[in-house]
Amino acid sequence: MKDRGIIVGKNGLERNVLAFQPPLVITEEDIKEVLVQLDEVLASIELIVK
């Protein structure tokens, strides 16, 4: 996600919670773009794991 310009941290006791770091001003379109990018990244990881 970092390579795509999106900052994501790992949180939670087992580091299994994604924490997004949005800018102070964020639009609905920005959120939709993050979801599209996350879907693409997770799909590519799924292909590697299989």
Task: Please determine, for residue 21, whether its predicted confidence score (pLDDT) is greater than 90.
Answer: no
Global pTM value: 0.76
Average pLDDT over residues 13-39: 93
Task: Please determine, for residue 23, whether its predicted confidence score (pLDDT) is greater than 90.
Answer: no
Average pLDDT over residues 4-24: 91
Q: Return the domain boundaries, the chain.
A: 2-49
% of the chain exceeding 90 in pLDDT? 76
- Closest by alpha carbon to 35, among 4, 3, 12? 4
35 phi and psi, to 5 degrees?
-65, -40
Residues 6+ apart with CB under 8 A from 29: none
3-state DSSP of 5-34: CCCEEEECCCCCEEEECCCCCCCHHHHHHH
pLDDT, the chain, mean: 91
Chain-centroid distance, C-alpha 27: 16
